[in-house]
Each structure stands twice: as C-alpha cells, then as structure tokens.
Amino acid sequence: MAVKNVLEAVRDTLFEAMGRDQRVMVLGEDVGRHGGVFNATQGLYEAFGEDRVVDTPLAESSIVGIAIGAAFGGLLPVAEIQFADFIHPAVDQIINEAAKIRYRSNGDFGCPIVIRVPYGGGVHGGLYHSQSVEALFFSTPGLKIVAPTTPADVKGLLLAAIYDPDPVIFLEHKASYRAIKGEYPEGEFVLPIGPADVKRAGTDLTVVSYGMTMHYALQAAEELSREEGIEAEVIDLRTLLPLDRRTIVDSVKKTGKLLVVHEDNLTGGVGAEVAATVADEAFMYLDAPIRRLAALDVPSTPYHPALERAMLPSKAQVKEAILELARY
C-alpha cells in the first residue's frame, strides 16, 4: 500500500471517484484551474473538464444551494467551502434545506451532497482561517458530519460520503493535510459512516476525540504506556453525527473513566454530548468525574502564535489530562 498524507488522500479519492462515476462533480471557489487553495482538487479540472469541476463565484450560500439542486438533478456534487470560517453564509442552505429535504418531503426527495470543509487551527490563520465549526452543525438531525484524519479513513469515508444518500459535511483538518501520513488503500475502499474507531485499546480510561487532538491523544497514550504503564483506550469518533454512542458507552463501562478532547471550544461542543451520554448511560460504571479538554471559550483562534498556543489544546495538555484522570 502507498503511504500518503491526508491532502493526497483527499485529492486521490476525488480523482478516483470522478474517474469511476460521471455523476460526481466538484464545485467551489478556486477548485478549477487553480486546483484549490490547498491543492485538494489539483488535476481534476484538467482531467474532467469545466462541466464537472466548477469554479463558482465567491458566494457560499449558492455553492451549497447549487449543489442541492444538482443533486436533485441526478448528480453527486462535492462542494468545497474554502475555509470552515466561510461556511456561515451557507448555514441556511445546509440546515434548513439540505438537512430537512428528506424529512419534509416524507422521503420523496433526498439530498446526496458532500460539503468538504478544511477546518482547524494551529496554522497561524487567525480568527477566520482556523475555526472549528462542528458544534454549529452538530444539533442538526438529517445531516451527517464526518471528520477523519488518517489517509485511510479519509478515503473510506469520503467515498462513503459521496455515495451517501444524505448530506454529509466532510471536515478536513488543515493541520493534518501534510502532517498526518499513513497507508492509502488502493481501489474500492469504503468505510461506513457512523461507527467510531477504537484507535488504541486500553483499560485504564477512555479518551474520546477526533481531528488533530485525536492524534495528540494517541501519541500521549503511547508515551504514557511506556512511561507510566497507563493504558488509555483512544476512540476516534471519525463520524460526529450521527454519534456512535454505543462504542463510547461500552468503552467507559470497561474503563470507568472518560476524557473527551477536542479542538473546538468547550461550551456546546461535541464533547458535551459525549459526556452527557456517558453520564446517563454509563453512570453506574464511572469511577471519576468526566473531564473535557478543549479550546478556550473565546470567539476564535488569534493570529499571533503566542496567543494561538494559549488558546488551543496542546499535546502536552492532553497528556497531562490523561495522566491526571488515570491517577484520579
């Protein structure tokens, strides 16, 4: 198997999907000749032409709205929102339209679109090139949200998302694009949307995460295993919505402790739902308070590296939080 980074995985998966299925199209700002500001669509324009690789005007609401219409018309559109921070004008089309179409039509219409969204901080992008937006969409039944951060997960879930009959927000952590490398499965490789992935088995506590902080958790868990003999079970949610409560609850029933980590800010984040679920369904198994580690509750990530570091959760903090909870 080839080793690729996350960005290559996105691009190659799009290339494969478009090559195989005429219905797949991509649209967004600069996705055409430019190949995307992160190069995620590089080569598609040359290979598949301007009917299927569409440079849209600078107008996010219409990017999603056009994708919805194209899906009605039988295409399988993959829309790119250039940065997660610019998805907000499209919230109406995503929440009130895409996510409600099947329900409101009593199943007569569906909305098989994918919205690719580069997100996340740690890239000196400041307030508007760093945001995590999962909480914004997390209370939206009808929508699916996936956030894979290994090349294999990216491939398997992006293919699944393209063929999913419902709208999928596909979150790509910008910091993972080049930093995270791994095996890239050849050919048809589809992962189900829904199930979380136990990326590391353990017995002492459960760490639930996704995105870049999941990688921090994995690394910290390895270190703590070596250094302290602490065995953390690390669950990568991968799919945020619908949430795989079962895997989480089962794990906590085994370990008795839960730490949730995410880069999104604390209040109202996905971590709250994970914690609330466990505080209900695994209450009798809990040996310690449920801990959450997340970004500070400030409006967004500041630009200067010193402020940025102070705002985002770090690997060191994740390690410390695991250690502290393990010792509780």
Partner 1 sequence: MKRTTGEPLKKQAALGERIHTRLGLSDDDLLQMYRTMVTARAFDERAFILFTQGKIPFTVTGHGHEGAQVAAAKCLTPGRDWVLPYYRDVGVVLALGMTVRELMLGEFGKAADPSSGGRQMPKHWGCRRLKIVTQSSPVATQLPHACGLAWAMKVRNEEGIVWVSFGDGVASKGDFHEALNFAGIHKLPVVFFCENNYYAISVPFSKQSPVPRVADRAAAYGMPGISVDGNDVFEVYKATREAVQRALAGEGPTLVEARTYRFGPHTSNDDDRRYRSRDEVAQWKEKDPIPRFAAYLKEIGLLDDQEEAAIKAEAEKEVREAAAWAESQPDPDPATVAAHVYAERGPAHGR
| Footprint on this chain of a second copy (rule: CB under 8 A) | 61, 85, 88-89, 91-92, 95-96, 99-100, 103-104, 127-128, 135-136, 138-142, 241, 243, 264-265, 267-273, 275-276, 278-281, 283-284, 286, 288-292, 297-300
**173: annotated active-site residue:** no
Tell me: does residue 177 bind ligand TPP (CB under 6 A): no
CA–CA dist 273, 309 (Å, integer): 26
The nearer residue to partner 1, 3 or 59, going by C-beta atoms, is: 59
Q: From the list a second copy, ligand TPP, partner 1, none, pick the one residue 76 interacts with, judged by a Cβ distance below 5 to 8 Å according to partner type.
A: partner 1
Tell me: does residue 103 bind partner 1 (CB under 8 A): yes
Q: From the list a second copy, partner 1, ligand TPP, none, pick the one residue 288 interacts with, judged by a Cβ distance below 5 to 8 Å according to partner type.
A: a second copy
Residue 259 backbone phi and psi in degrees, to 5: -120, 130
The nearer residue to ligand TPP, 60 or 164, going by C-beta atoms, is: 60
Site track for ligand TPP across 58-97, x = CB under 6 A: x-x---------------------x---x-----------
C-beta neighbour count of 262 within 10 angstroms:
28
Binds partner 1 by CB under 8 A, chosen from 2, 47, 201, 307: 307
Q: From the list ligand TPP, partner 1, a second copy, none, pick the one residue 185 interacts with, judged by a Cβ distance below 5 to 8 Å according to partner type.
A: none
Tell me: does residue 328 bind partner 1 (CB under 8 A): no
Residue 209 C-beta: closest distance to partner 1, Å: 22
The nearer residue to ligand TPP, 1 or 59, going by C-beta atoms, is: 59
Among residues 34, 88, 124, 129, the one annotated as catalytic is 129
CA–CA dist 75, 62 (Å, integer): 16
Residue 286 C-beta: closest distance to ligand TPP, Å: 43
Nearest CA to 286 out of 258, 244, 312 is that of 258
Instruction: Say what the alpha-carbon torsion angle 172, 176, 180, 182 is, to the nearest 10 degrees.
Output: 10
Site track for ligand TPP across 180-219, x = CB under 6 A: ----------------------------------------
**Contacts to ligand TPP from residues 29-58, by CB under 6 A:** 29, 58
Residue 84 C-beta: closest distance to ligand TPP, Å: 11
Angle at alpha carbon of residue 277, lines to 211 and 119, rounded to 5°:
20
Residue numbers at the binding site for ligand TPP (CB under 6 A): 29, 58, 60, 82, 86
Active site residues: 129
